[in-house]
């Protein structure tokens, strides 16, 4: 087994390699003066089981091209099997036609990854589970809930919790977490007029005097979380915390979180932390490196991945 890392999230790739006790494959991923991407692998990979670790986060298109070119380089180097490890799968929110004459970009990206040479995909907390069906190759979709639940049990041992879904679409995710931490469930009913802009309408459930934990898969502009936190506070919540898998946090999102009613925003390291995130007082990180490493080990040894969550 070999691990090849792109430039999108080197700290996570190094943590995965350390957990597996395997060095990262020596390779050059650089750019020419006109920003064309060039990849050169400095080790023999013929007949090897190779895992390419690359989140397609910002800059999304550059990181996507890095991934595709790495896959092509491995295919042309006669690797036996190539697994694209995408801790964060970009373009996942474009999983359907949201309006007339719009693309389904998640399907396009799935086609590109398979065409470039990937034999299977390993990812974490897909925005929509049906994206697995966009691929004509096997897809393993991991869940960060286990790591989040461990952190919740450590930091909130006294109960009195309500797990909150920040929108109707995340109810299944929130209910699963609520069941495992023996907490109540609430839902924020919102209306989204356009991408990145939301308005809280109602709070469904009893949050008065309770500690509220919002659970979601992606935080981008953080408008939804901050508006929901304000609405929960207005409804009598004692404290409001959030657990989110993918910290996109674009634009002024970090400043928005810092100035909000959120006591803390706990995210995973699927996306490399920016300096603003590292200096923020209420943004904390938990690592999914061991989870990804164990899944990679099981894929390589042809063991069960789904039993990780039994």
Convert the pLDDT of each residue in 109-168 to its tens digit: 999 999 999 999 999 999 988 999 999 999 999 999 999 999 999 999 887 899 999 888
> In this structure, are 121 and 172 located in the same domain?
no
> In this structure, are 193 and 265 located in the same domain?
yes
pTM value is 0.92
Strand partners, 2: 50
Percent of the chain with pLDDT over 70: 96
For the annotated catalytic residues, the residue numbers are 190
Closest to 160 in 3D by CA, of 235, 215, 211: 211
Q: What is the dihedral of CA 227, 230, 234, 236, to 10 degrees?
A: 120
Mean pLDDT of 62-87: 97
> In this structure, are 11 and 126 located in the same domain?
yes
> In this structure, are 97 and 218 located in the same domain?
no
> In this structure, are 154 and 242 located in the same domain?
yes
Strand partners, 82: 50
Contacts of 81 (CB under 8 A, 6+ apart): 49, 50, 119, 120
Amino acid 199: pLDDT: 66
Number of structural domains found in the chain: 2
> In this structure, are 55 and 103 located in the same domain?
yes
> In which band, very low, low, confident or very high, does the pLDDT at 103 lie, cut at 50, 70 and 90?
very high
Mean pLDDT of 95-107: 93
> In this structure, are 134 and 223 located in the same domain?
no
> In this structure, are 28 and 61 located in the same domain?
yes
Helix (H), strand (E) counts: the chain:
9, 14
> In this structure, are 178 and 263 located in the same domain?
yes
Amino acid 201: pLDDT: 67
- Please provide residue 285's backbone torsions phi and psi, each rounded to the nearest 5 degrees: -125, 140
> In this structure, are 245 and 180 located in the same domain?
yes
Q: Strand, coil or helix: what is 121?
A: strand
Cα separations in angstroms, 78 against 85, 120, 131, 222, 287: 19, 16, 28, 43, 33
Q: Return mean pLDDT, the chain.
A: 93
Percent of the chain with pLDDT over 90: 87
CATH at 257: 3.40.50.2020
- Which residue segment(s) compose the domain that 262 sits in? 145-287
Amino acid 308: pLDDT: 85
Tokens of 306: 């789904």
> In this structure, are 274 and 303 located in the same domain?
no
Amino acid 196: pLDDT: 54
Alpha carbon 146 to its chain's center = 14
* Separation between Cα atoms, residue 302 and residue 102, nearest integer Å: 39
Q: By the 8 A CB rule, do 39 and 77 touch? A: no
Sole residue written with tokens 């909130």: 156
Length of the chain equals 310
Amino acid 268: pLDDT: 97
Amino acid 169: pLDDT: 83
> In this structure, are 175 and 225 located in the same domain?
yes
Q: How confident is the model over 2-39, as pLDDT tens digits?
A: 999 999 999 999 999 999 999 999 999 999 999 999 99
The angle, 0 to 180 degrees and rounded to 10, between the axes of the packed helices 289-300 and 10-20 is 60
């Amino acid at each position: 087994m070999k691990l090849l890392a792109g430039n999108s999230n080197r700290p996570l790739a190094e943590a995965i390699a350390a957990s597996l006790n395997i060095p990262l494959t020596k390779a050059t991923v650089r750019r020419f003066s006109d920003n064309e991407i060039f990849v050169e692998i400095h080790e023999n990979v013929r007949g090897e089981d190779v895992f390419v670790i690359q989140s397609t986060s910002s800059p999304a298109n550059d990181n996507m091209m890095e991934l595709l070119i790495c896959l092509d380089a491995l295919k042309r180097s006669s690797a036996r099997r190539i697994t694209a490890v995408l801790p964060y799968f970009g373009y996942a929110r474009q999983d359907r036609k949201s309006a007339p004459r719009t693309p389904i970009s998640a399907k396009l990206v799935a086609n590109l990854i398979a065409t470039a040479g990937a034999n299977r995909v390993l990812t974490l907390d897909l925005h929509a589970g049906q994206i697995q069906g966009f691929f004509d190759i096997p897809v393993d979709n991991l869940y960060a809930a286990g790591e989040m639940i461990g952190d919740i049990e450590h930091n909130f041992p006294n109960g009195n919790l309500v797990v909150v879904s920040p929108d109707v679409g995340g109810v299944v995710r929130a209910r699963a977490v609520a069941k495992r931490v023996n907490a109540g469930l609430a839902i924020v009913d919102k209306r989204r007029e356009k991408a990145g802009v939301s308005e809280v309408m109602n709070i469904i459930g009893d949050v008065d005097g309770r500690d509220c934990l919002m659970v979601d898969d992606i935080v981008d502009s953080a408008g939804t979380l901050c508006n929901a936190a304000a609405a929960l506070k207005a409804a009598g919540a004692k404290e409001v915390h959030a657990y989110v898998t993918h910290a996109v946090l674009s634009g002024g999102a970090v400043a928005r979180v810092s100035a909000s009613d959120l006591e803390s925003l706990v995210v995973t390291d699927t996306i490399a932390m920016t300096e603003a995130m590292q200096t923020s007082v209420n943004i904390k990180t938990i690592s999914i490196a061991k989870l990804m490493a164990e899944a990679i080990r099981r894929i390589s040894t042809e063991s069960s991945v789904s039993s990780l969550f039994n």
